[in-house]
Amino acid sequence: MLTGKKILLGITGGIAAYKAASLCSKLVQQGAEVRVIMTGSATQFISELTLQALSKHPVYTDTFDEKNPQVIAHIDLADWADLALVAPATANIIAKMAVGIADDMLSTTLLATEAPIMIAPAMNVHMYTHPAVTRNLAELTGRGVLIVEPGSGQLACGYTGKGRMEEPEAIVAVLANYFARQKRVAEQPLAGKKVVVTAGGTVERLDPVRYITNDSSGKMGFAIAKAARSLGAEVVIVAGRTEVSPPAFSEGLTVTRVESALEMYEAVNAIWADTDILVKAAAVADYRPKQIAEQKMKKSGETMTLELVKNIDILETLGRSKMGQFLIGFAAETDQLEQNALDKLRRKNCDLLIANDVTAEGAGFGSDTNIVHVYDQDGLVQSLPQLSKEEIGLRIMELAAERLTGEFK
Ligand code: PMT
């Protein structure tokens, strides 16, 4: 499964370092080439000789121990790796990665590498739930670092709880999945498909200087658009007001800017007949002011009443006129997530519906991560844990590709 993959294995100083020997052995058995960097603390728990024997290569512990004068070791290793895996990852290395500290061979190499990074945290349950660790992990997740969540159980420190490094077999399986994903991306399963993604919040004007909008930053929609493009689709983004910039214009990716729900509908409807997949990640206003004042409204009286009229429901309208398009809706919920999600899915005739509890920490509006539940007409398809919006975008588009083409497993 991992034949020829170059894995840089970083081992840090926790009791779970003993499991790194088994991990290294399993990686080699699966055909991976493994190079090992150990921190000084890791060598307190397990010997370099063990990892050298298992990886069949010298182990790096010191930034200044240049084994080959032709190269700078930490840059050479950083460039060599297909993936850097830190297992176990202590609270200390997680903090260093989060702020970019490079004060030993491992942290320096991790800062220098452009390879994807995966970490398998292991620590005491109170350390794992400490706000500093939570914040650092969220920072890394947002940056695309892959986290192999620790398991729960009896910890070496005597406590019972979450913090036990995932078993080597499971980490190897996650790695295999990761490389399988890369292979699928290379297969370009959405080549020849047109994917339209709405992103951001609509703007409903009251007068020339005021409007009604919402907290959508555009991050979720843009992440989906990038994922669709990476799987080979021609992508059109229809974006309302956003806090972040859309992906840079490139061949196969265009961005149309709109303000109101009506404008969003017109833009999406104009290309609906050619659309293969529509993803409605935008937060659309259900109501708009009945009147848009031509001049700035003047202050008068102690109270003011705005009269609103119902907006078109873009998803529902297009759902009624589907001609083979694959329709993915979102549901931003604060309560009764499943019930509301299934109601929207059926009412709006979606093929998939992505529900997020926008009150949950690390989910919904503005954050770099999300926690989503995916439904189809038969009910729950999958629940995804807290992941970067990029990763969620890929999972959604992979699922859509699989359902649309039936070839993509
Ligand atoms: O942009 P971010 O900051 O990254 O935040 C992401 C997000 C929270 C905006 C996103 O994950 C999300 O939940 N988007 C949908 C927000 C929303 O409008 O949800 P809703 O439950 O009100 O609407 C249900 C669906 O109908 C949505 O797909 C929406 O686009 C669509 N809709 C709603 C109203 C309307 N008039 N027309 C529509 O098409």
Same domain, 269 and 332: yes
- 281 Cβ closer than 6 Å to some ligand 1 atom: yes
CA 405 to ligand 1 center in whole angstroms: 26
Nearest CA-CA partner of 175 in 27, 59, 311, 295: 27
CB-facing half-sphere around the CA of 100: CA atoms within 13 A: 2
- 393 Cβ closer than 6 Å to some ligand 1 atom: no
Which of 157, 185, 213 marks a domain boundary? 185
Which of 167, 185, 203 marks a domain boundary? 185
**Residue 284 maps to a domain:** yes
Same domain, 134 and 241: no
- 392 Cβ closer than 6 Å to some ligand 1 atom: no
Q: Whose CA is nearest to atom 27 of ligand 1?
A: 330
pLDDT tens by residue, 104-141: 999 999 999 999 999 999 999 999 999 999 999 999 99
- 368 Cβ closer than 6 Å to some ligand 1 atom: no
- Residue 265, both tokens: 């509908």
- 73 Cβ closer than 6 Å to some ligand 1 atom: no
Nearest CA-CA partner of 73 in 85, 58, 87, 92: 58
Residues 402, 109: Cα–Cα separation, whole Å:
37
**Which of 202, 216, 279, 357 is the pocket-test mutation for ligand 1 (most atoms within 8 Å of CB)?**
216
Count structural domains, the chain: 2
CA 284 to ligand 1 center in whole angstroms: 6
Distances (CA, A) of 401 to 182, 307, 323, 334: 15, 43, 17, 29
Same domain, 262 and 175: no
**Residue 1 maps to a domain:** no
Same domain, 352 and 246: yes
**Residue 28 maps to a domain:** yes
pLDDT of residue 155: 85
DSSP E strands in 189-325: the ranges are 194-199, 204-207, 210-212, 234-239, 253-257, 277-280, 287-289, 308-310
pLDDT tens by residue, 174-197: 999 999 988 888 999 999 999 999
Same domain, 124 and 253: no
Containing 380, the helix (H) or strand (E) segment is strand 379-383
Nearest CA-CA partner of 328 in 268, 374, 383, 270: 374
CA 113 to ligand 1 center in whole angstroms: 37
pLDDT of residue 408: 43
Same domain, 177 and 66: yes
Residues 30, 51: Cα–Cα separation, whole Å:
16
| Residues of the chain below pLDDT 50 | 408-409
Among 28, 95, 111, 157, the active-site one is 157
The CATH number that applies at residue 40 is 3.40.50.1950
Instruction: Report which DSSP code applies to 61.
Output: -
pLDDT of residue 407: 55
- 283 Cβ closer than 6 Å to some ligand 1 atom: yes
Same domain, 108 and 18: yes
**Residue 332 maps to a domain:** yes
Q: Whose CA is nearest to atom 14 of ligand 1?
A: 281
The CATH number that applies at residue 195 is 3.40.50.10300
Domain range for residue 88? 6-185
Which of 126, 159, 185 marks a domain boundary? 185
- Residue 54, both tokens: 């298992």
Same domain, 170 and 221: no
Distances (CA, A) of 159 to 121, 152, 164: 16, 10, 10
Same domain, 181 and 194: no
Q: Whose CA is nearest to atom 35 of ligand 1?
A: 313
Any bridge partners for residue 118, and if so which? Answer: 85, 146
**Residue 267 maps to a domain:** yes
pLDDT of residue 161: 87
Q: DSSP letters of 300-325?
A: -SS-----EEEPP-HHHHHHHT-SS-
Q: 207 near 293, Cβ under 8 Å?
A: yes
Any bridge partners for residue 279, and if so which? Answer: 197, 328
157 labelled catalytic: yes
Report pTM: 0.80
Q: 257 near 222, Cβ under 8 Å?
A: no
Same domain, 180 and 196: no
- 356 Cβ closer than 6 Å to some ligand 1 atom: yes
Same domain, 32 and 92: yes
Same domain, 73 and 215: no
